[in-house]
Structure 1
Amino acid sequence: MLSPLHHDDPEAFGPYQLIARLGSGGMGTVYMARSPDGRTLALKTLHARIAHDADFRTRFRLEADAARVIGGEHGARVFDADPRAETPWFAAEYLIGPQLGEAVEVAGPLPEASVRRLGTALCAALGQLHHSDVVHRDLKPSNIVITAEGPKVIDFGIARALGDDRLTRAGSQIGTPAFMSPEQAGGLHHGWAGDVFGLAAVLVFAATGHGPFGDGQAAELIYRVRYTAPDLDGVPDALVPVLARALAKDPAERPTTAELRDQLHEGGGEFADDLPGAVLQQIGARAEDIWHVQHERLPAPVMEGATGPPPQAPPGTGKLSRRQLLFAGGASILGLAGAGGGAWALFVRGGGPAPAPYHKPTPGPSVSPLPKKKLDSLWQVQLGGPLGYESPASPIVIDGLAILPSRRAYGVDTASGTVRWTTRIARSWHLASDGKHVLHVVNHEQPPGVTRGLARLDLASGKDRKEIDLRDPSGKLFSVQLLGVSDGIAYLAVLRRHKTKLYEREMPWHVTALNLDSGDERWYEPIPFHPAESDDLHFLAAKVAGNRLVALQHMNDDTVRVNARDLRTGKTVWDQPLKGVEPDQARHPLTSDDKHLYLGVGRLRALRLSDGKPSWERSGRYGPPALKDGKLYVVEEGSGLRCVAADNGKHRWTQRDSYGSRAALTSRPVVGTKYAYAKSTADGVLRAVSLTSHTTHHQYRTTGTRFFADERNKVIIASDDHFLAAFPLR
C-alpha cells in the first residue's frame, strides 16, 4: 500500500515527478514517480545525511550498475540514474507481484513444479550476473519478486564485482545469516559458488516454508551455516540430492548455475502455469490497486504551541502493519503493482543489526491508502511487464487484435479485452507486422538466448507457423531487431558472434533482408560498431516506406541520425543528423506515405524519400505526427492539436480552446471520423477534439502513453508497456 509524500519531500528528481512514497530505511527512500511521457517508475534515493560519504555513494552507484547488468528479464530495468547528484538517485521499473516470503506466507510451500521453475529462472538470473563478473551476495526470499512472467531478483545493495572486496572489511560478515554461504559467514571471499548456496537455501524455503538452517539469533544461524547439515525435511524427494549438493560446505563441491539449472529444468511452459491460485490472486490485486493512485502530500507538522488539529502521525508510528513489519528487520521490500506504466518491488536498506529470519507477520493497522479514482476505459487488462527498449510500434493492432509483447505476446480482442492467446517472446523489437501478417523472433533455450529463428504467428491461435533459422554457418545470432516487413521480405538488424561476451568494444552489427518464402538473404550490410559497454539497440524507430527502409539510428556519440536504404540492395541512399533530438525523444512510430517521411519532435518537416531533402518544414516544437486522408495531425507546443496539409505543410486548423496548451508532445495523435485525440500527461486524460469546431468535446482519464486506432472495432487502444485499455473511437 502506498503512502502520501511527506511535506518536505522534493517535487521531482531529474525529470521524474514524485507521486507517492513506497518506503524509507536507513540508507534511502523509494518513491513512486512518473516520467514526462507518463511512465510509472520506482525512484530510489540516498539519504542526504549520508550522501556526502564516498563509500555510501560508491555502494549506491554499484547497486544501480548491478541492476543494469541483470536487466529487465531477470530484474527491474534501470531507466535513468544520477549517482553524482547532490542526492543520488536511480529510476527503475515497477514489478507486479509479492516477494517470495509473502507468496509462501499466503499460499504455503510451493509445489515441486513451481520450485523447479523458480530455481531454473533464478539460475538464469545469477548466471547473467556471474557472466558479467558480478556476485549478488544477499539472495533471500525478500529479494525475489514473484511476477506472472517469472521471478525477479532485486536489491543489489551489497552486490560486488568478483574479487573486489574494497568496500568489505576483512573478517566481516555481510548478508543475511539464514541464507548466507559458509564462506560468507566466516568473513571469507564470496564468489559465484556463494550465490549458488544462497539460491539453494531460497529454494528450500520455497519448498518447505523454512530455511535450511532454521531461525534464531544471528550468531546461532552463522554457526549452523558453517558447521551443521541443512534441514531438508519437507523438500520433495527428487530435489533433496540436487539441493544438498548446492548446499555443500566446500564451494568447490557445489554445481555451477548452468549445472543446477539443468538439474532443475523440466520441460517448457510458462512460469505462471504452476503458481498457486493464491499467488496469482496477489499479483492481480496489486496490479488492480495501482491503477487508482493519485498524488497526495502530507501537510507540514504543527509547531508546538500552535492552534489547530494535531498533525497526522508519520508512517511508521504506532503498531506495525504487515508491510512495515517487513521494514523492521533492517531491509524492506515494497512489492507493489504498477499502473499503466510498470510495477515494482524495491528495497530500502536500513542500518543496525542483521535482518531477522522470516516469520509470518501479525495483523496491524496500515498507513492510510491514497485515494482511488475510476478510469474511463471501455475495458482494461493488465499484462506482464515492460521489456526494455520498447518498439515504438507496440502494441500491434491487426484484424480486431491488439498484440502486446511483454515477455509473452498477448493477443487481445479489441472489442472485449479478452486475451485470446499468449506466446513467448523476448522483447518488443522481436515483433513486426505488414498489416496482414505478424512475424516474431523465436528464442531457443539451447544455448540460452543465442539461437533464434523467425516465424509467422497464426493470429487465431498465437502459434508459430513455418520457422526460418536466423543463424549463419559461422556463428550464432546473439541479438536482433526486427525492423519491418513488406512484400514477403523481413528487414532485421543482427549481431552474429562466436563468443557470448556481452560487452565487446566492437560488436559487428549488420542490417539484412530475408526472403520469408525461401529463407534466403537478399543483402547483408554493415552498420557502425557500438562502443564498449553498450547494450543499447542501434535503431530507435524503423519502417518500410515506398522503396526505402527508413530508420532513426542511435549513434555512438548519443546523437540521432535518420537514414534510408534501398530495399533492393540495402545500400544507404541518404543519411543525415536529426539535430536537437535526444534518443529517448525519437522512440515513436514513423509516419510516411509513398513520397515523404514526416518527422516531428522538434520542427515539423517532410523529407523526400528519394533524396532526404525537405519538401517543407514548420518552425516550432512538435510531437510525432499522424497521417490521415492527406492531412497531418500533430501537437504543437503551447497550441495543442494542429492540422496541416501533408503535401505542402500549409496550415488547416489549430485547436481553439485553452486545453490545447496542456497537450503532450510525447505521443502521436489518433484520428477518427469526428474527432482527433491527444494525450495530456499533466492532466492524465485523453482529449477528443472535434474536427469541425476544433474544440474539446470529451476527455477520458488514462495512464496510457501510446495510442493506436482499431477502425474495425471503433476503439482506441491505449498501452503503457504492460497494460492495454480501450476507449471509444469516433
Structure 2
Amino acid sequence: MQVFTPLEAGDPERVGPYRIVGRLGSGGMGRVYLARSPGGRATAVKVVHEELAEDAAFRRRFGREVAAARRVTGPFTAPLVDADPHADVPWLATAHVPGYPLGSAVAAHGAWPERSVRALGAGLAEALEAIHRVDVVHRDLKPSNVLLASDGPRVIDFGISMAADDTKLTRTGAMVGSPGYLPPEQLVGREVGPAGDVFALGALLVFAATGTGPFGGGHAHGVNYRVVHEQPGLEGLPDGLADIVARCLAKDPLLRPGVPELVGELGRWEGDEGTGGTFTPAAWLPAPVAADVGALGAAPLPDEAPTAPADPDLPTVTLGPAPTAVATAPLGAAPTRPSLAARLRGTARRRRTAVLASAGTLVVLAVVAALLLPDALSGSSGRGDGDGGTGSPTAAAKKLAASEQWSSDADLWRPVVADGKVVGVGNDGPLQAVDPGSGEPVWTYDDPSASSLEGVSDGLVIASGSENGTIQGIDLKRGKRVWSVPAKAHTAAGTTWNLYKRVVVADGTVYVNAMYDLPEDSERYGTYAVSAVDAATGRLKWTRTIEHILSDALAVVDGVVYGGVRESDGSYLYALDADTGDQLWRYRASASRNYSGEATAITVSDGTVYFGDSRSVLHAVDARRGTKLWTSEPDLDGVEEWLEPLMVVDGVVYGGTGDPTSDYGSGAVHGVAADSGRLLWTVSTEREPELHGPLDGSMLFSTRAGTLHAVDARTGGSPAETRLSTDDPDAAVAGGRVYFDGGDGRLHAGRISLTGG
C-alpha cells in the first residue's frame, strides 16, 4: 500500500531544494508532491496553482500566512519546514505524514465506534489549539485534510485558505472550502474566526461516527443551503457525543464552545480497558483502519521519481491496442425495434441536457454566499408560515435584473462554469474556455471529435464526439488533451456504436449511457450499455450490457448509479454499484406496455431518489432499498415530461416540465413537498424552463423564450423576470452571475440582483 502515485508529464523535477519523487494529491489551492530534502528526509511540497500565483493580493496574504504557519507547533499538526512565497510559482513544504486520509478510511471501512471518534476529536481539537495560538484560522478543515497516523491524527493544509480569500479565484465565483464543513457565517460572507474551525470539527466528528456529514450530500448549493438554514442530522450519535457536536454546529459562532473547552471534554476519552486513552494504533483506531495505517507506515518511499508506465489496456485514438475484456451482465430480454422518431427524440433531449448532471464536480448551479438569505444567522430556520407550509424561504423579490458585466466574441453552447473558467462548445465547432471575470479567451481546443461538452471533473474537461464516439479528457487549465478513449472500448462484439444518450462525470469517473446498432439481419434494432471510465486515465473500469431501451436520465450519487430503462412490460428505475456495475435494486415505475413512462430527470437527496418521467409523474424511492415512498402528478393540460435538473432545497422538490414533442411548447415549474409528494404550487411558463437554484428566498429559472425568472420558493408567487435574449439563452448561473447566449452571436455575463418588496 502506498500513499503516492507516479509523476506525470509536466510535473516538476525539483521545487526549491526538494527533489520531487511522486504525487500525493491536489486541491483547490495547488498540487501536492512527495519530495526528498537535500538530506534525504521525506517532505510534502505544495505548489500553488498558477492562476493564484498571478494574483498580487494572494501573494501578499500567502506570505503573511506562511510566516504565521511557521510558528505552529504541536503533536497533531504537520509542521511547516520551508516555503518560498516569492517564487514564480509559490510553494511550501511540510513534514511528510504517511497517513491515511480520514475520508478514505471512512469510505473503505465505515463508521467509527465512539471511542475512536472521541480520540479523533481530542487530537483535532489539540491541533486547532496549536493553530489558533499563533492567530491562524484553518478555514478548510475537512476529511481529506485530516491524515490518520499510528500515533494520532494530523491536520494539514493550514494557512493557505485564508491567503486565497478575496483573490481573483473567489471573485470569479469559487468558494474557498468544502460543502458541509464551511460554517454558515462563511457562506453568507461574514468574517470567519476560530469558531468556524470548531464548526468544521463538529461536522468531521459526525462524518466519522455515521459515515456521512451532518447536512447530507448532493449538489453543493443544496448542502450549503442546509448548513445555513437547517439543523444538523445527529441521529445515531451517542448522547454524550451528540451534545458536544450540537454545540460545535451552532449557527451562531458565539454559541460554539472554545477549542480549550473541547480539548478538555474530548481529551477524556478512554481505551477499551476503561483506562485513559493513549494514541497507539490499537487504542485509538478501528482495527481495519489501524491495519491500513500500519501498511502505509511500512511502505517504502521511492528514491527516484517514478513515472507512470505505458498501459497496454488503455485505449486511445492514436495509440495502443483495444482494452481487455470486461464482464457484462444483461438486465433483461430484448425489446422490439424502437421507432426512428424515438431515436431522434432521444438524441435531441440528450443534446439539451448532457452537461447538467456532473454530480457535484461542476458547480454550475451553485448559488452561495450572496445568494443565501441575509438573516441566516438570526436563529430562524427560514421557514415560512404561509399556506404553502413547505419550509422554504420567504421571498422578498420584486425586481430581477442581470446587469451586463461583459460580452465576448465566443458564443458558447451550454456554457459550464468550473474552476475559474467558462467552458462550452462554440457555434462554429471548437471547444473553448473564457475567463469568467472578463470574457477574454483562455484556450481553444479545435478537435472535431470533441463536439459535445459532457462535464468537468478534477481539472479535466470531458468531451465526446457525435460522429465516432470518442471520449476525451482535456486539461481545464491549458486546453490540452490528457487522454482519449474510442467508443470501441465499451462496444460489445457484433455491435456498432450509435450514440451517447447521456454522459455524467462524478467522483473521478465518467459514466456513459450508450446505444449500439446490431447487424442488419437482427430481429432487434439495437442494444444498450452503461459504462464507467476512469476520469484521470481514461481506463475502462466496467461495462454493463442492457438489452432494453435506456432512458436519457442518469445520476451518480454516493457510489450508486441511477438510471432508467424501458422494457416490454413497463419502465423501471435501476441502481448499480458505481465501482462494479452490479445491480443493487430495480423499481417498477410504470406498467405500461408501449414503452412509455421512461425516467427523464433524476436527483438524490437525504437517502431518497426523486425522479420524473415522460408521463409527468414524479416519484420518490428509498435510495437504499428501492421501495416506493410516493408519487405525484401535476394537473397538466397535456402529456409533459419532467426536465433536468430536479432540485431538493429545504424540504421541497423543485422541477420543470415541458412538451417533449415541441421545441416551442409551453412548460411549467413546480414545487412539491419532499416528504409527501403534495403539490405545493405550479407556475406556467411560456416556453420550456430550466432551473438554476435558490436566490434570496426565490427559485431562479430561465426559459427557452430568453427570459430569466424568479418566483417565491414557498408559494410560487411574487414573480419577477428580466430579458436575456430573443431565444433560448443557454444560461448557466454561478457566483452571482448568469452567463448566456444573447442571441447576437456573443456570450454575455450579467451580475444578478433581486431587489424590492
Q: TM-score surpassing 0.5?
A: no
Q: Could you tell me the TM-score, scaled by structure 2's length?
A: 0.39
